[in-house]
Amino acid sequence: MPLTQDQLWTRNDEFTISTNKDYLDVEAIYQFLNKESYWANGIAKELVQAAITHSSLCYGIYEGNPSIGQAKQVGFARVVSDFVRFSWLGDVFVLPGYRGKGLSKWLMSIIVEHPHLKGTSFTLATNDAHSLYAQFGFQPLGQMEKRMGRPLNWDEVYSGYSLTRNQE
CATH topology of domain 8-139+148-160: Aminopeptidase (3.40.630)
- Kindly report, residue by residue over 110-163, the tens digit of the pLDDT: 999 999 999 999 999 999 999 999 999 999 888 888 888 898 889 999 999 999
Residue 3, pLDDT > 90, answer no
Query: What local confidence, expressed as pLDDT, does residue 59 receive?
Result: 98
CB 55 within 8 A of CB 83: no
Question: Region 21-33: what's the mean pLDDT?
Answer: 98
Q: pTM of the prediction?
A: 0.92
pLDDT of residue 168: 56
The confidence score (pLDDT) of residue 80 equals 97
Phi, psi (5° rounding) for residue 26?
-60, -35
pLDDT per residue over 55-95, tens digit each?
Answer: 999 999 999 999 998 999 999 999 999 999 999 999 999 99
**What residue segments make up the domains of the chain, in order of their start?**
8-139+148-160
HEC string of the chain equals: CCCCCCCEEECCCCEEEECCHHHCCHHHHHHHHHHCCCCCCCCCHHHHHHHHHHCCEEEEEEECCCCCCCCEEEEEEEEEECCCCEEEEEEEEECHHHCCCCHHHHHHHHHHCCCCCCCCEEECCCCCCHHHHHCCCCCCCCCHHHCCCCCCCHHHHHHHCCCCCCCC
